[in-house]
Amino acid sequence: MTALTHLIERLAIIDFLRIHPLFAIGTMLVLGYILAKISEVLRLPEITGFILAGLVMGSGGLAVLGYSASEDLSVITEVALGLIALTIGGELRLSKLRRIMRSVAWITAGQFVLPFLMVSFALVLFDKSFPFALLLGVVATTTSPAAIVAVVQSTRARGPIIDSLYGTVALGDALSIAAFGIVLSIVPSLYGESTAVTELIFTAILDIGMSIVLGIVFGFLTYVSTRSQNNTGEVMILTLGFLFLATTTALLLGFSPLLVNMATGATLTNISPRSNRIFRTLEPFTPPVYALFFVIAGTKLNPSLLFSPEVLLFGTVFVVARWTGKYTGSYLGGLISGVSSEVRRYLGLGLFAQAGIALGLVVLLQTAPELHGLQSIPAGVVQSSINIVLFSVFVNEITGPPIAKVAIRRALKLEGKWNS
């Protein structure tokens, strides 16, 4: 009886550890660190190790992370995405953008339009519902800013390809978010339902504009509150405080936290050269947050999707069409704008990674009021669309960062700016 009691107590401890967020965080950091070091030995980006750690801990692996703990850790994802968006926004300095705006605009247009058209056409060709093929086409245009920032920071790369990459990702993802709202608003019309399309499109565009305005306001507040501070600790406290407030305000008002924080970073970097110290102050805070973000992202990947014939077929079509569109579109955009051959040949390879924004958009398919009550939607099409995106995220989050690292390294070698 005593042995049985001890066994029950041990099982209770295991259950406690599975649901306790602090245990989850500790395990994520330690296991993520170990696998990140193994990835570096294999000449892969360290974020590959963090994602693999998430796979091991998630429901598709050992299920170390319980549902309760996973929900408790969702705030870390919001914090990480806020920091990532702030970092990308901080690279959007007008003095720099003036030199590359024409090329970034053309490359962004190419890497947005071509994957949208190719994925939509390919899915319709394989008998996917046309309205949902359009929605998935928009999702295909997104790029993971988190993966790009992590790879660039780990390589400490600088140069024209990095400036163009950051500008393209920021502008492209903003365009993707706006386009998704517009396409989602016209889906009822495509299914023969009457709806005020013009009003819905106007609302989607207004939300984008208000997100940018809100970001400018928080950027100004952050600058004013930190400009007279000389203590780096105080600068970090105030900056993180406003970052958290900006993120939660955006969520409360139904705006995009990503766009709000990008606009905050862009405002800071353009309002004064002294704002660079704000970004430098945050650097010691970001490694554990980024590590946790990628481990959490890994826990959401489900390898079992690879064994579903339908998902395997449509997912492969989605991934191949997206890769082809991203690379060809960015290449043509670079060719039209006259960028260097290094940027033209390799920038598109840095756009394959896909995660947070794609997952965020696909979640909207489950909750969007525009789709509720539409009797004409074929049974199972929503869940099928979600599974296709999850398959794409699984493939692109594993393969995208290593491809981006190789592309950046080769481009900078050709420019004579890579020494390792």
Q: What pLDDT digit, counting tens, does each position of 211-235 carry?
A: 889 999 999 999 988 888 778 888 8
pLDDT at res. 399: 85
**Which range marks the domain in which residue 310 is found?**
75-415
Measured in degrees and rounded to the nearest 5, phi and psi for residue 195 equal: -160, 155
Q: Is residue 206 part of a domain?
A: yes
**Is 70 exceeded by the pLDDT of residue 192?**
no
pLDDT at res. 407: 83
**Is 70 exceeded by the pLDDT of residue 62?**
no
Q: Is residue 268 part of a domain?
A: yes
Count of domains forming the chain:
1
> What CATH number corresponds to the domain at position 343?
1.20.1530.20
Q: Is residue 17 part of a domain?
A: no
**Is 70 exceeded by the pLDDT of residue 363?**
no
**Is 50 exceeded by the pLDDT of residue 420?**
no
Q: Is residue 163 part of a domain?
A: yes
Instruction: Compute and round to an integer the Cα radius of gyration of the chain.
Output: 22
pTM of the entire structure?
Answer: 0.71
> Where is pLDDT greater, at 121 or 373?
121
d(CA 269, CA 267): 6
d(CA 212, CA 208): 6
**Is 50 exceeded by the pLDDT of residue 408?**
yes
Q: Name the least confident of 37-41, 211-215, 237-241.
A: 37-41
Residue environment code for 370-407, b if the CB has 16+ CB neighbours within 10 A, otherwise e: bbeeeeebeeeebebbbbbbbbbbbbbbbebbbbbbbb
Q: Is residue 254 part of a domain?
A: yes
Q: What pLDDT digit, counting tens, does each position of 151-186 carry?
A: 777 777 777 778 788 888 877 877 787 777 777 777
pLDDT at res. 350: 84
Q: What pLDDT digit, counting tens, does each position of 110-129 carry?
A: 989 999 999 999 988 887 77
Q: Is residue 320 part of a domain?
A: yes
Q: What pLDDT digit, counting tens, does each position of 278-330 carry?
A: 888 887 888 888 888 878 877 776 777 667 788 888 888 999 999 999 999 99
